[in-house]
Structure 1
């Protein structure tokens, strides 16, 4: 059987290629990505005397693509697990909520316009897919997370020369129903509904308009997402959350700019969020971002930037900005203290950072960054009189990537966070007797073979 299995795979692939219509192509790729981590205060400081965590997680992904006249198909199946979570002799003891085998992508993209028109294209992409726009700050695939992020959505795309206009939407339900559209946004198991620790949306709509520049792009985004309303009922003297058909509507809109002028790359973004948040409070929040990168040479560059997300609130109005469905790990420090599953009290964030990047030869890439974090709003008093400092702490990140071949890469990193009493206070992370020196280190191996059949 061991000798026949590889031969069977090759026979299947050969038959598939033989059956392809003219001018069609089939692609197949795989990824095996293991990541060993030492977490000694990753996400939030640990209490004094707590032992650090050490584990290895693994993503195994198989992707296939098919392209023919006026159609593209994409499929990605992945399994995400921690080494040792399953019994080695039988899988019936595996906890259902830990089952990491899932369909990550399954979509079709259809060209609706005449194939003779190369300048203008109208496309429809439907199915399970990644939504990835601009720098992934608000809409990204969150690839750092082993399970990544995807949406069950429909996207209509109009593209002409350097311009693009995309309109998309999604509508979630737990199962097929005979009546009503009640949606329970609570995911199974001990997992947050989204990266920021909130609920899954019931529905989502967005409009994206962008234009390519000489060495960058400028874009406009309007996104609305709706969340199920709820109330608390009592069942057998136990409080139970009940979900309703009605929803609360949140809207986010703004501009993004990125372009390179000789050796200088400028990036800026501004977004405003309004409507209702998931708790039903009025929402008025902002995100502002600016960064500059200077290429000292082809191999070495340095940069600096600042991010601001509003927080806090007054009365029935919240000023806490939610960065939607982006990739926080890319922006607010590698240790994921902010806008990830571990919350920080909706206080908002000021992040001032410096960074450097060195491409040493054709195989090495080294990066370093330093962040100084502050609250964007006043923190609650500790003893009724003393107002804590807004300073949250300092983080330093070091990362090294070695590409052995185009298909094989090794990556390692180390981060250190020195937190303040303000960060661990009751109104923010709420950690008793915290260790203010936190560490995180990882080693990742990524193997990505690919094949193309025409």
Structure 2
């Protein structure tokens, strides 16, 4: 039974999204073998979201379906092919205002349930918006905001079902989505502390994140049997971004230690720095560099940095050769890039980026450390506040090092690889106020 009290202010929001993306993949994510045919398909994300806010609380929920045109997953036996489940609950959360709403100088909120975690530039924690499936976490989040300062504490603890005893967790069950960057094991638990401060035209922040992965031992076939206990990985570092007149500077540094999901001792780092300069009202350009360590030491220590639960598509080239689904041998990455943006009016925008990629560790057989060069071109145009169009083309000139057995492991690989897409995004929203 629903009871509405007219004396209390409340707001109901109803939203939807239909996003189609038609892609031509001729060596996207990894070089294609010579003679292989390009792929061509259209994927579609459909979302229905609802939100309700009242006195000292908010509720939000998003139902999502992702499929490829012609897949017709409704005819697939989901008992034996669970990986084809495309309908899921993307978000379902409640946020409670723990302080009285009359206190305007500070807030203390508790957010619980399935939610997106987005921080800073989404490098380590983001909603992976580019991927049609997106990313979400089942978590608890305590948020304190006061003036220019933010303090957040979050935690998650995952289980496969309502167990009668024990907390052993299988991070790769059939049909489960991969929540971390490289599609490997899902964390069993996670805790983090985030502290941020707003600057004049930017902000700086500190992050300390701990995630735990189930211990395991191999079975007779080389598979994994999940055991009690966990391996703990720790990541900590700083982020900075600010704009000074026409110049925007960004910098970040993070260090990882502990043990990774493969039970390897870990010592790894990420360093990033970039600037963007507004040359005129309609055009800006900038240079940047990213460095992530990689490789395996003689004592078994891994130096491969994992960018956690971020949005790699935003940083390391739009063809997703690095830190996405297709691995590159945990080699680490050097990325030196030029980024430009042209926006002649309020709507149309054109971006052109150029990346030069190198390995951050040695490659077997004394091969060159150069992975290749990528050029990305993207045009976007919002027809209305609800409807937008986007199209892109990318080209990757790859080397023999990239396709070698110790990296992408593609035999007889083509050296010129292409990817193109057209995306239509329709996102209406209605707000009802009492």
Aligned equivalent of 1:245, options 225, 228, 231: 228
After superposition, the Cα gap between the structure-2 partners of 1:440 and 1:245, relative to the gap in structure 1 and judged at 3 Å, is same
Q: Match of 1:409?
A: 388
Local SS of the residue matching 1:288:
strand
For residues 35-81 of structure 1, the C-alpha deviation after alignment (integer angstroms, 9 at most, x for no partner) is 00000000000111000100100000011111111101111111000
Kindly indicate whether the alpha-carbon contact (under 8 Å) linking 1:17 and 1:453 is maintained by their aligned counterparts in 2.
no
| Structure 2 residue 322 is the aligned partner of structure 1 residue 343 | no
Q: String of CA shifts for 1:145-189, please: whole Å, max 9, x gaps.
A: 001000000001111001010000000000000111010001424
1:449 alignment partner in structure 2: 428
Q: Distance in 2 between matches of 1:103 and 1:355?
A: 36
1:60 aligns to 2:52 (yes or no): no
Is this contact kept in 1: 2:181–2:306, CA < 8 A? no
Residue of structure 2 equivalent to 1:435: 414
State how far apart, in whole Å, the 2-side matches of 1:72 and 1:193 are: 25
- Structure 2's unaligned 5+ residue stretches are none
Deviations 1:93-130 (A, max 9, x none): 56432121110000011011122211121110000000
Pairing 1:20-39 to 2, within 5 Å after superposition: 22-39=8-25
The answer as to whether partners of 2:52 and 2:60 remain within 8 angstroms in 1 is: yes
- 1:367-378 equivalent positions in 2, closer than 5 A: 367-378=351-362
Shift of 1:322: 0.3
Write out aligned runs for 1:133-212 (5 A): 133-189=119-175, 192=178, 194-212=180-198
Are 2:20 and 1:71 aligned?
no
How many residues are paired up? 430
Q: Which residue is equivalent to 1:227?
A: 213
Could you tell me which residue of structure 1 aligns to residue 309 of structure 2?
325
Give the equivalent residue in structure 2 for 1:276: 259
DSSP-derived class of the 1:430 partner:
coil
Q: TM-score, normalised to structure 2's length? A: 0.96
Shift, 1:16, TM fit: 8.7
| Residues 380-399 of structure 1 mapped to structure 2, 5 A cutoff | 380-381=364-365, 387-399=366-378
Q: Does 1:355 align with 2:334?
A: no
- In structure 2, the residue matched to 1:7 is none
Alignment CA distance shift 1:164-1:401 (3 Å): same
Is the 1:197–1:343 contact (alpha carbons within 8 Å) kept by the matching residues of 2? no
Supply the RMSD in Å over aligned alpha carbons.
Answer: 1.7
CA distance in 2, matches of 1:341, 1:96: 19
Contact map agreement 2:85 2:175 (CA 8 A) in 1: no
1:185–1:193: 8 Å Cα contact kept in structure 2?
no
- Contact 1:86–1:93 (Cα < 8 Å) also in 2: no
Structure 2 distance, partners of 1:180, 1:37, is 45
In 2, Cα distance between equivalents of 1:148 and 1:56: 17
Aligned to 1:3: none
Equivalents in 2 of 1:394, 1:136: separation in Å?
24
Structure 1 residue 255 and structure 2 residue 238: aligned? yes
TM-score by length of 1: 0.92
**Structure 2: distance between partners of 1:286 and 1:86:** 43
Counterpart Cα distance in 1 of 2:360 and 2:49: 42
**Per the alignment, do residues 409 and 187 of structure 1 end up closer, same or farther by CA in structure 2, a change over 3 Å counting?**
farther
Separation in structure 2 between the aligned mates of residue 282 and residue 50 of structure 1, nearest angstrom: 39
CA shift for structure 1 position 17: 11
Deviation readout 1:388-436 (Å, 9 max, x if unpaired): 1100000000000011111000100000000001101111001100011
- For residues 241 and 148 of structure 2, the distance between their equivalents in structure 1, rounded to whole angstroms, comes to 15
- CA distance in 2: counterparts of 1:390 and 1:172, whole angstroms: 39
